[in-house]
Structure 1
């Protein structure tokens, strides 16, 4: 096991957090021991907002960064970066993970939260997940969530031939509509809404969290150096030296106003620790 100093105000995608000494687990037994001792596992910290307090945090070591072709499936270590996996699938003409080209992070975190874009989710091509050293096939996945409780050390994906370049292009276009400033990705999950009406009687249908925030007046809304993006209202961006305190103020205010206006309770997609 190793120790490593990380300044999360530079390392995390939203550029908020303290400088901490974290643990690096070199094998699954070390990872399980840390997890059971109350340590929080992170990957590339792309969807986390860190409070200023001290945290017990660990990462998986480079032993978990690999891609293996095992015949009927591809096995990928949980630390492997999404971009690396995307390029492997593209170079080997494999389908199902085209959206990974535009989503930052690592495979373990992406699988844990069942990440994706639109109707394309990572669960669709998962064969099995190695949790606490045991391969499991019966995982319950839901929208941006799973029932996985433990350490994901590796994932096996189905081999489906035919990389889809049209999908790759579509995902790139979606990415263009997202802000470039530091953020933790989508702030809120898209809620399931049926028959809700806005003040002008326009049926909201299945509107996204971004649309609900926009209708509630949060597009471009700012507290300190934290702001809901003008480009996409569901992205909380850091304009420079933004604080955890102001980020939480914005999140709580947005939840309160959307509930008041739309009678919808927004659920955070970002992780706050």
Structure 2
């Protein structure tokens, strides 16, 4: 199925072999939590694993670069957009099912395109404990696994049993967590590989206890993090010396603004879109932060977000 946001001279006829939606020349600002980003040549929503394999075959055959968009969190798309393909698993990879239920263990299978918040809601309804730390984390299951999302002392890898992956040639496999290479806010996979879903080990618990813990964590997030303006979550990884936000605040950068991008006055590791921000504003802010923190503390901050695309040709 093909749709158009605008004409794209690179589009080559129809893609009858692909069942999912294909959009051309799409502003990615409409699909990212920062509300920032230039156009991508192709935005594709495969319907299932077989459809995704066809999409990857198209990309390989026509030498089209691609990336997984997820829910558009933890990503900055440059103002010139991305010459290639963005793939969203939101339409075809949203399944969720309990595959094993014992007195002390419950296994929950969740597709990569499923919003993480939907999984948390399910756990609250069914009394499943283990993912409470992830309450309020934006993004998809696939993104949470790829980033080894974590907060409040917990990480995704601690409750994960296995991951389903598709390689760049469309071959699928299931990797047990013991064979995966997790690190702080990262899962190392070969280039071009795509997470299709995860199998989580959870524990039965009283519904009210799970609900109370989730509400407590969401309240803490709302108290400490900005929710009034678009953002991408934490911009920098926390170094071994302590929270990145604390270092940025110590350098007097809270509230510092370039164009429409501003370091949040509520949490210094968040850059918010105060209105009309462009990727170049965010990138300049990132440069200012890294230089000043390095100069004043000797700590070189590493990005937690992904940056994709090309600069605009002004």
TM-score by length of structure 1 reads: 0.89
Find the partner of 1:12 among 8, 26, 32.
32
Most deviating of 28-37 and 236-245: 28-37
Find the partner of 1:167 among 202, 213, 237.
213
Counterpart position of 2:197: 154
Query: Following the alignment from structure 1 to structure 2, what is the Cα–Cα distance between the partners of residues 101 and 239?
Result: 25
Do the aligned residues in 2 keep the contact of 1:35 with 1:151 (CA within 8 Å)? no
SS at match of 1:135: strand
Aligned-pair CA distance for 1:27: 3.2
- 1:32-66 CA distances to partner (integer Å, 9 max, x unpaired)? 43675521111110111111224221112522111
Aligned-pair CA distance for 1:81: 0.7
- 1:142-173 CA distances to partner (integer Å, 9 max, x unpaired)? 11111133111111111311263443233123
Alpha carbons of structure 1 residues 31 and 85: separation in structure 2 relative to 1, 3 Å: farther
Number of paired residues? 260
Do the aligned residues in 2 keep the contact of 1:23 with 1:59 (CA within 8 Å)? yes
Alpha carbons of structure 1 residues 187 and 212: separation in structure 2 relative to 1, 3 Å: same
Counterpart position of 1:238: 273
Alpha carbons of structure 1 residues 34 and 226: separation in structure 2 relative to 1, 3 Å: farther
Query: Following the alignment from structure 1 to structure 2, what is the Cα–Cα distance between the partners of residues 179 and 34?
Result: 40
Most deviating of 123-132 and 58-67: 58-67
- 1:170-226 CA distances to partner (integer Å, 9 max, x unpaired)? 312321210121111001010012xxxxxxxxxxxxx21000000111111111111
Query: Following the alignment from structure 2 to structure 1, what is the Cα–Cα distance between the partners of residues 233 and 48?
Result: 30
Counterpart position of 1:38: 65
Query: Following the alignment from structure 2 to structure 1, what is the Cα–Cα distance between the partners of residues 120 and 188?
Result: 25
Query: Following the alignment from structure 2 to structure 1, what is the Cα–Cα distance between the partners of residues 94 and 124?
Result: 18
Counterpart position of 1:140: 181
- 1:126-155 CA distances to partner (integer Å, 9 max, x unpaired)? 010001121101212111111133111111
- Aligned Cα root-mean-square deviation (Å): 1.8
Counterpart position of 1:111: 145
Counterpart position of 1:204: none
Most deviating of 144-153 and 1-10: 1-10
List, as ranges, runs of 4+ consecutive aligned residues in structure 1 with deviation greater than 4 Å: 34-37
Most deviating of 158-167 and 31-40: 31-40
